[in-house]
């Protein structure tokens, strides 16, 4: 997965965003020189497989306009054409989606993911810079996607409000017309401390939330639930979730900022208060040079120590593989850590609830 941030700017100011507000207020746009240099390095350094998924990701990727993507696609075709099959994914807040964007999505074959957390009351964290709700703006974008018959995925952050009323969330999801649902808990990240952290009863409520969704969205239903597909794979196939997850393999999750700065494990680590986990800039030299640096050695040693703790102590290691590295760092200040709020809910609580059915 190559995650590219065409701009750090966002038209919303969601309270739980992992990108600090100071970064999201910047308006830079990735230059085509940076993009082309990145692609050439990936080719020359043999970092590509037969298929490449480029995720145009946050802040808000549509903010740079369609012209940027028309230009980017031409450069991608020139640089990678014939060598690699490229799939594009847009993860957007949906506010800017209009008919012209939909025509572009259809023309380019891009997949679309829209971030929205549920009913208007459940979506209160998603606001504009004046603090006003963005719910109706995203719904307008979703209606436009549906009017163009574009299958799209809903990505929801599960907050206290969502857990408190699973049926409202389920009814909302059904009403949107999405083809896929993904959900993740409101987690602690470098820019935000989760409100779930001190929430008594959170595990019981989350288990009830998960079970309500499981009953409402069966495997053969019209809405595919990403987390349940992962769970079914894990239980039916033994252990398809890699014991060494993508977050511990360098370059499996390459994330590149508009400036060309990049990080090679979890994308969230690009946006801390300092550049601690920036492994270099694509303009400065070969990407692989970062593997022979004190920064890389220190970070991997710490991450592997954390993974060893997980392997020794966690009964869900085979389901997870110490995946949650950015959350470990955000919660404890170190990768040499074990349980986090996110893994406690998304792995331990969910698997336990579903295993008991
Ligand atoms: S669920 Fe948590 S404690 Fe268990 S392996 Fe995953 S990260 Fe480690």
Position 241 pLDDT exceeds 80:
no
Distance of CA 118 from the midpoint of ligand 1 (Å): 27
Give Cβ neighbours of residue 313 (< 8 Å, ≥ 6 apart).
Answer: 338
Ligand 1 pocket member 161 (CB < 6 A)? no
pLDDT at 242: 52
Instruction: Give tens-digit pLDDT for 129-152.
Output: 999 999 999 999 999 999 999 999
Residue holding tokens 């040499």? 336
Evaluate: CB of 310 within 6 angstroms of ligand 1: yes
Average the pLDDT over 30-37 and give the result.
Answer: 98
Question: What's the pLDDT at 155?
Answer: 98
Ligand 1 pocket check for 324: Cβ under 6 Å: yes
Segments in the chain forming alpha helices (H): 21-24, 32-44, 66-80, 99-108, 135-147, 160-164, 166-176, 202-216, 226-236, 294-313, 317-320, 325-332, 341-343, 350-355
Residue-level pLDDT at 294: 94
Instruction: Tell me the CA–centroid distance for residue 44 and ligand 1, in Å.
Output: 36
Query: CA 337, 323, 328 angle in degrees (round to 5)?
Result: 30
Class for the domain spanning 2-236: alpha beta
pLDDT at 276: 86
54's enclosing H/E stretch is strand 51-56
Helix (H, G, I), strand (E, B) or coil at 12: strand
> For residue 338, is pLDDT > 60?
yes
State if residue 319 touches ligand 1 by the CB under 6 angstroms criterion.
no
pLDDT in tens, 3-14: 999 999 999 999
Q: Do residues 251 and 263 touch, judged by C-beta distance below 8 A?
A: no
Model pLDDT for residues 284-316, shown as the tens digit of each residue: 999 999 999 999 999 999 999 999 999 999 999
Q: How far is the CA of 324 from the centre of ligand 1 (A)?
A: 7
Q: Residue 107 in contact with residue 134, Cβ under 8 Å?
A: no
**pLDDT at 174 (0 to 100):** 98
Output the average pLDDT for the chain.
93
pLDDT at 319: 86
Distances (CA, A) of 33 to 40, 72, 75: 10, 10, 10
- Under the banding of pLDDT at 50, 70 and 90, the label for residue 239 is low
Return the structure tokens found at 83: 């060598």
User: Is the CB of 24 within 6 Å of ligand 1?
Assistant: no
Domain ranges of the chain: 2-236
- Nearest-atom number in ligand 1 for the CA of 347 is 1
């Amino acid at each position: 997965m190559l995650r590219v941030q065409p701009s750090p700017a966002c038209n919303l100011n969601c309270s739980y965003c992992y990108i600090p507000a100071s970064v999201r207020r910047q308006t830079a746009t990735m230059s085509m020189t940076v993009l082309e240099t990145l692609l050439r390095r990936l080719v020359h350094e043999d970092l590509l497989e037969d298929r490449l998924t480029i995720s145009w990701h946050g802040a808000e990727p549509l903010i740079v306009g369609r012209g940027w993507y028309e230009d980017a696609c031409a450069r991608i075709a020139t640089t990678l054409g014939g060598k690699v099959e490229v799939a594009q994914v847009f993860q957007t807040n949906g506010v800017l989606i209009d008919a012209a964007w939909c025509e572009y999505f259809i023309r380019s074959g891009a997949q679309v993911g829209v971030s929205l957390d549920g009913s208007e009351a459940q979506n209160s964290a998603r606001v504009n810079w004046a603090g006003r709700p963005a719910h109706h703006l995203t719904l307008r974008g979703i209606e436009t996607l549906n009017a163009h018959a574009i299958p799209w995925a809903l990505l929801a952050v599960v907050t206290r409000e969502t857990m408190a009323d699973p049926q409202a969330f389920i009814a909302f999801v059904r009403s949107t017309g999405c083809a896929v649902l993904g959900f993740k808990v409101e987690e602690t990240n470098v820019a935000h401390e989760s409100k779930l952290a001190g929430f008594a009863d959170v595990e019981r409520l989350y288990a009830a939330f998960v079970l309500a969704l499981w009953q409402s969205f069966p495997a053969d239903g019209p809405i595919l639930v990403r987390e349940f597909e992962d769970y079914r794979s894990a239980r039916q196939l033994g252990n398809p979730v890699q014991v060494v997850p993508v977050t511990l393999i360098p370059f499996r999750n390459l994330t590149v900022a508009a400036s060309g700065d990049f990080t090679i494990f979890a994308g969230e680590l690009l946006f801390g208060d300092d550049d601690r986990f920036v492994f270099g800039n694509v303009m400065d030299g070969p990407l692989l040079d970062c593997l022979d640096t004190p920064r890389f050695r220190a970070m991997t040693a710490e991450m592997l120590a954390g993974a060893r703790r997980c392997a020794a102590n966690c009964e869900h290691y085979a389901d997870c593989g110490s995946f949650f590295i950015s959350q470990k760092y955000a919660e404890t200040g170190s990768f040499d850590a074990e349980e986090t709020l996110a893994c406690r809910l998304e792995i331990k609580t969910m698997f336990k609830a579903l295993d008991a059915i």
